[in-house]
């Protein structure tokens, strides 16, 4: 029985760090394990210009340094935010290309307007941003997509499939060169679409969509801390996701979608969408891969496939994980000012933990 593994240090290819006090409180949970992270731009107001991205990166770096200085993080911690821009109907192709050439951004994020948390400034019609997408294809800039259609007549459980049929598949044909990530894929339809495409279409997967189905959220009481977007799906979808993650297919890699909201805003009559999983993502995944007898596939999923797609070097650092006899415990929540943010409950004991990053 394997009880210790060493892997290339992982990256997180989809992360919400927020800003201000929330940023200061949550950045450590990601920086302690992940060497790099693609930082989502859905602040209020959103991160739209090169200057916005530069300023936000500086605030993330300052918050990381502060966490090191106050001994919340190990002194050797290295954490690089990989910035993204938020695509709007008015986005400026010249600024986006310049931000990419300057190395300020690694991707552009498309939120269909109204699809999720802070997406009011999102794209209302893909045709409006076609000139920008053409420039991105020409300059090899990655497009990250929140893959859900937002028309009110489309059922929430069918919104990913609707997006693939109506937006993604036509775009894929129109701009075959564009590198596209279908973010936080949740359905068999999404996985099968990516599998049917060339290597410049990829998908990120979250720990919670790999681990849970919609019963976990809705049977025996409604669990607001499992409410996220795209919403958890049926078990048969989860199985397809898990098979793809375990398969070694380079087009699938980890994006935690760790998305902190304070407990009072989630445990509410109209609760916010988002799961805060950064503290236990690596334990969750090691457990999941181990339970499937596929620990040898973990490194590809967390540490190699992402850099391969983003055309970046893999990390020169390593992470060691150990399996103990007793379940590992995690704090139930972290404090953010007077409020708390509840940590993802994997709904099963985890025996794996990170023991070293070096
Ligand atoms: C994210 C957030 O809170 O910013 N919420 C979520 O449920 N995943 C936005 C997103 O990625 O959809
Ligand atoms: Zn997200």
CATH of the domain at 264: 3.20.20.140
Is the confidence at residue 337, as pLDDT, over 90? yes
Buried b (16+ CB within 10 A) or exposed e, 187-204: bbbbbebbeebeebbbbb
Catalytic pick from 189, 249, 257, 290?
257
Q: Is the pLDDT of residue 225 over 90?
A: yes
Whether residue 341 has pLDDT greater than 90: yes
CA of 134 to the centre of ligand 2 (A): 24
pLDDT band, very low/low/confident/very high, at 120 (cuts 50, 70, 90): confident
The yes-or-no answer on residue 257 being catalytic is: yes
Q: What is the pLDDT of residue 119?
A: 87
What pLDDT does 171 receive?
Answer: 98
Round to whole Å and give the CA distance between 25 and 331: 14
Q: Separation of 115 CA from ligand 1 center, angstroms?
A: 9
Summarised one tens digit per residue, pLDDT across range 27-86 is: 999 999 999 999 999 999 999 999 999 999 999 999 999 999 999 999 999 999 999 999
334 has which bridge partners?
341
Residue of the CA atom closest to atom 9 of ligand 1: 117
Indicate the burial class of 69 (C-beta count within 10 angstroms; 0-12, 13-18, 19 or more).
exposed
Pocket residues: Cβ below 6 A from ligand 1? 16, 42, 116-117, 146, 228-229, 257, 259, 273-274
Model pLDDT, residue 339: 98
Residues with Cβ within 5 Å of ion ligand 2? 257
Q: Whose CA is nearest to atom 6 of ligand 1?
A: 274
Question: Residue 267 burial by CB count (10 A; 0-12/13-18/19+): exposed, middle or buried?
Answer: middle
Percent of the chain whose predicted confidence (pLDDT) is above 90: 97
Residue ranges of E strands in the chain: 4-8, 12-15, 36-39, 80-86, 105-110, 142-145, 180-182, 201-205, 252-254, 318-323, 333-336, 339-342, 352-357
Rounded to an integer, what distance in angstroms lies between the CA atom of residue 37 and that of residue 30?
8
pTM for this prediction: 0.98
Q: What is the mean pLDDT of residues 229-242?
A: 98
Give me the pLDDT at residue 2, please.
Answer: 80
Map residue 23 onto helix, strand or coil: helix
- The whole-number pLDDT of residue 278 equals 98
pLDDT for res 212: 98
Q: Ligand 1, residues 18, 38, 42, 121: which to mutate, most atoms within 8 A of Cβ?
A: 42
- Residue 104, pLDDT above cutoff 80: yes
Query: What residue numbers bound the domain in which 111 lies?
Result: 4-357
Probe ligand 1: pick from 116, 119, 120, 232, max atoms within 8 Å of CB?
Answer: 116
Per-residue pLDDT tens digits for 154-197: 999 999 999 999 999 999 999 999 999 999 999 999 999 999 99
Query: Average pLDDT for residues 256-268, to the nearest whole number?
Result: 98
Q: For the chain, what is the mean pLDDT?
A: 97
Task: Report the share of the chain in percent with pLDDT over 70.
Answer: 100
Query: Which residue has tokens 């959220």?
Result: 217
Number of H helices, E strands in the chain: 14, 13
- Taking 80 as the threshold, does the pLDDT of residue 1 lie above it? no
229 Cα nearest atom in ligand 1:
7
Residue of 254, 258, 256, 242 whose CA lies nearest to 310 = 254
pLDDT of residue 100 exceeding 90: yes
pLDDT band at residue 117 using 50, 70 and 90 as cut-offs: confident
Q: How many domains does the chain have?
A: 1
- What pLDDT, on a 0 to 100 scale, did the predictor assign at position 75? 96
């Amino acid at each position: 029985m394997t009880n210790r593994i060493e892997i290339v240090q992982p990256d997180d290819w989809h992360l919400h760090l927020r800003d201000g006090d929330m940023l200061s409180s949550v950045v450590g949970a990601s920086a302690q394990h992940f060497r790099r992270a693609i930082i989502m731009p859905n602040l209020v107001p959103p991160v739209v210009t090169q200057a916005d991205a530069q300023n936000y990166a500086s605030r993330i770096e300052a918050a990381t340094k502060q966490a090191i200085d106050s001994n919340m993080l190990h002194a050797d911690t290295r954490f690089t935010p990989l910035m993204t821009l938020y695509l709007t109907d008015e986005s400026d192709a010249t600024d986006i290309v310049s931000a990419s050439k300057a190395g300020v951004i690694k991707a552009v994020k498309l939120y269909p307007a109204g699809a999720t948390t802070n997406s009011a400034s999102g794209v209302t019609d893909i045709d409006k941003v076609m000139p920008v997408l053409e420039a991105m294809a020409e300059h090899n800039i990655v497009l990250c997509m929140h893959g859900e259609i937002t028309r009110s007549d489309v059922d929430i459980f069918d919104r990913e499939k609707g997006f693939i049929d109506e937006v993604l598949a036509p775009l894929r044909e129109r701009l075959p060169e564009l590198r596209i990530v279908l973010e936080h894929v949740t359905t068999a339809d999404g996985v099968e679409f990516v599998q049917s495409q060339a290597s410049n279409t990829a998908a990120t997967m979250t720990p919670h969509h790999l681990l849970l189905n919609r019963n976990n959220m809705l049977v025996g009481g409604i669990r607001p801390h499992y409410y996220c977007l795209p919403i958890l799906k049926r078990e048969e979808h989860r199985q397809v996701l898990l098979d793809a993650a375990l398969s070694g297919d380079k087009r699938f890699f980890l994006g935690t979608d760790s998305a902190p909201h304070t407990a009072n805003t989630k445990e509410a009559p109209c609760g916010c969408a988002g799961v805060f999983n950064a503290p236990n993502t690596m334990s969750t995944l090691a457990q999941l891969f181990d339970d499937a007898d596929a620990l040898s596939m973990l490194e590809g999923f967390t540490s190699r496939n992402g850099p391969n797609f983003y055309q970046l070097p893999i990390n020169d650092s390593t992470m060691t994980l150990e399996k103990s006899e007793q379940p590992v415990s995690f704090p139930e929540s972290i404090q953010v000012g007077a409020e708390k943010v509840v940590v993802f409950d994997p709904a099963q004991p985890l025996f794996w933990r990170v023991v070293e990053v070096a």
